[in-house]
Amino acid sequence: MPGITFSLRLGEPHPHIVTEHQKIHKIVKAAYAEGVNTVIDIVDLTKSFGRTRALDGLDLSVAEGEVHGFVGPNGAGKSTTLRILLGLLRADGGKATMLGQDPWRDVADLHRRIAYVPGDVNLWPNLTGGEVIDMLGRMRGGISPQRRAEMLERFDLDPTKKARTYSKGNRQKVALVAALASDAELLLLDEPTSGLDPLMERLFRDEVVSVAAQGRTVLLSSHILSEVEALADRISIIRAGRVVETGPLAEMRHLHNTRVRAELARPVQPGALHAVEDLVVDGAQVSFSVDDVHLDEVVAALSSHGIRSLTSEPVSLEELFLSAYGTDAATGLHAPQGTQDPRGTHAAHTPTGAPDDAEPKRALR
Partner 1 sequence: MNGFGHLVRLAWRRDRWMVLATLVLAWLLTYYSAVATIDLYPDVASRVASAKLSNGLSSVIMAYGRVYDPQSVAGLGGIKLQMIDFMILTFLAIAVVRRHTRSDEETGRFELLGAGVVGHRAPLAAAFGFASLASLVGGIGIGATAGLGGLPWTGSWLMGAASAGTGIAFAAVTAVAMQLSASSRVGSGYAYGTLAVTYVLRLVGDVREGVGGEFLRWLSPLGWGQQVRAWNGDRSWVLWLFLGFAALGYVAADRLRAGRDMGVGIFPDRSGPDHGSIGSSYGLAWRLHRGGVIGWMVVGVLLGMVAGALIGAVGGFMNEAAEQMLRQIGGTGIADELFVSIYAGIAALAATAYGISAVLRTREEETAGHAEAILATAETRWRFLSSHLLYGFAGSAAFLVAMGAAEMLVWTPGPDSTVTAVEAFTTSVVQIPSTWVVIALAVAVVGLLPRLSWLGWALFIGFILLGELGQLLSLPTWLQDLSPYAHTPKVPAEPFELAPVLTMVVLALVLAAVGSLAYRRRDLSV
Q: Smaller CB distance to partner 1: residue 218 or 322?
A: 218
Q: How far is the CB of 140 from partner 1 (least distance, A)?
A: 5
Please calculate the CA angle 237-334-57 and round it to the nearest 5 degrees.
Answer: 60
> 158 vs 292, which CB is nearer to partner 1?
158
Cα-based distances in Å from 229 to 39, 186, 195, 202, 348: 21, 20, 19, 13, 24
Nearer to partner 1, 126 or 214 (CB): 126
Q: CA-CA-CA-CA torsion for 106, 108, 111, 116, nearest 10 degrees?
A: 110
| Smaller CB separation from partner 1, 174 or 335 | 174
What backbone torsions phi and psi does residue 278 show, to the nearest 5 degrees? Answer: 55, 45
Shortest distance, position 272 Cβ to partner 1, whole Å: 53
Q: Tell the smallest beta-carbon distance from residue 247 to partner 1 (Å).
A: 28
Q: Which is nearer to partner 1, 160 or 309 (CB)?
A: 160
100: alpha, beta or left? (left if phi > 0; alpha if psi -120 to 50): left
Close Cβ partners of 155 (under 8 Å, ≥ 6 residues apart): 173, 176, 177, 200, 203
Q: Which residues pair with 236 in a beta bridge?
A: 70, 246
In the complex, minimum distance from the CB of residue 103 to partner 1, in angstroms, rounded to a whole number? 11
**Toward partner 1, which CB reaches closer, 157 or 237?**
157
Least separation in angstroms between residue 243's CB and partner 1 is: 22
Least distance CB 183 / partner 1 (angstroms): 14
Q: Which residues have a Cβ under 8 Å from the Cβ of 172 and sit 6 or more positions away?
A: 117, 121, 192, 193, 194, 195, 196
CB of 84 to partner 1, least distance (A): 9
Q: What gap in Å lies between CA 47 and CA 88, rounded to an integer?
A: 13
Q: What phi, psi does 149 have (nearest 5°)?
A: -65, -40
Distance CA 209, CA 211 (A): 5
Q: Which H or E run contains 81? A: helix 78-85
Query: Is the CB of 80 or the CB of 289 nearer to partner 1?
Result: 80
Residues forming the site for partner 1 (CB under 8 A): 83, 86-90, 107-109, 111-112, 114, 116, 118, 120-128, 130-136, 138-141, 158-162, 164-165, 175, 188
